Amino acid sequence: MASSTLNAGKIIIITAPSGSGKTTLVKRLLKEIPWLRFSVSACTRQPRPGEINGKDYHFFSEEAFKKMIAEDAFAEWEMVYTGKYYGTLKSELAATWNSNEVPLVDIDVQGALNIQKTYPDTSLTIFIQAPSIEVLRDRLQKRGTETPQSLNERIDKAVVELSFASQFDTIIINDDLETALQQLRQTVIQFVGRS
Ligand code: ADP
Ligand code: 5GP
């Protein structure tokens, strides 16, 4: 079928400093675009209460994960926290392309830059950014998920991550949510060439 050939291999990579609104925007986008499919990562951390294997992550032992690294199963992988591995499975991307859908990869800044190197011609990288560090701090505080210490860690990490923003194809400032969502939708639709 011509359309599946046309769209095979495209990949949307979205990243953002924590608290920028990435999860909020990605959830809305996935609801609106039927041919976009969330790419479920593999990881070695324990599932959190409520997380479902195969839906939130593919959970593996460290041994199994390392075996998959040796087998070249990953488009990218990283030790995100000490001893905790995360990666994007090539098989997950292939299954999405085979069903004529486009994978949306939601990963951290370093992972995004790595996967961009793997698929330089067929990837669209999007960096979502809060309007300022003050707004970011305020959103993280209001979300109510952070201790004062973890909030400061996330802000420090955000400052470092912001210095990489210019390496992405598109930067979307998430000030007004609906405006940011519209920009995100337009950018993705234009890149994939499908409405
Ligand atoms: P991330 O996934 O980037 O860490 P979230 O999607 O969890 O960020 O958003 C962080 C907090 O900011 C959440 O409480 C969310 O409801 C809120 N938020 C997201 N976008 C906006 C926006 N445009 N204006 C105000 N609050 C927002
Ligand atoms: P969490 O354990 O909170 O779900 O995720 C921790 C971090 O791992 C987040 O910054 C998230 O973006 C990142 N992450 C999730 N999946 C992947 C992946 O497949 N590859 C990489 N490199 N990072 C990932």
Give pLDDT, residue 190: 97
Bridge partners of 43, per DSSP, are: 59, 86
- Give the pLDDT confidence score for residue 2 in this predicted structure: 38
Q: What would you report as the CA-atom Rg of the chain, rounded to the nearest whole angstrom?
A: 17
Span from the CA of 185 to the centroid of ligand 2 (angstroms)? 23
Q: For 10-192, which CATH superfamily applies?
A: P-loop containing nucleotide triphosphate hydrolases (3.40.50.300)
pLDDT of residue 48: 85
> Tell me, what's the pLDDT at 195?
81
In this prediction the pTM is 0.90
Average confidence (pLDDT) over 124-144:
95
Q: What is the pLDDT of residues 27-39, one digit of tens each?
A: 999 999 999 999 9
User: Residue 171 burial by CB count (10 A; 0-12/13-18/19+): exposed, middle or buried?
Assistant: middle
Ligand nearest the Cα of residue 127 is 1
**Domain boundary assignment for the chain:** 10-192
With a 6 A CB cut-off, is 111 part of the ligand 1 pocket?
A: no
3-state secondary structure of 26: helix
C-alpha 19 – ligand 1 centre gap (Å): 6
Distance 178 CA to ligand 1 centre (A): 12
B/e letters for 32-44, b = 16+ CB within 10 Å, e = fewer, are ebeebbbbbbbbb
- Of 157, 156, 75, nearest to 109 by C-alpha is 157
Take residue 8 and report the two structure tokens written for it: 């095979």
pLDDT over 90 at 135, yes or no? yes
Q: What is the pLDDT of residues 150-189, one digit of tens each?
A: 889 889 989 999 999 999 999 999 999 999 999 999 999 9
pLDDT tens, position by position, 42-91: 999 998 889 999 999 999 999 999 999 999 999 999 998 788 899 999 99
pLDDT per position as a tens digit, 2-29 = 334 444 599 999 999 989 999 999 999 9
Note the pLDDT of residue 146: 85
Ligand 2 pocket: which of 48, 79, 86 to mutate (most atoms within 8 A of CB): 86
Ligand in closest contact with the CA of 145: 1
Residue 80: predicted pLDDT: 82
Q: Which pLDDT score, from 0 to 100, does residue 83 have? A: 87
The best mutation among 15, 143, 157, 179 to test binding of ligand 1, ranked by most ligand atoms within 8 Å of the C-beta, falls on 143
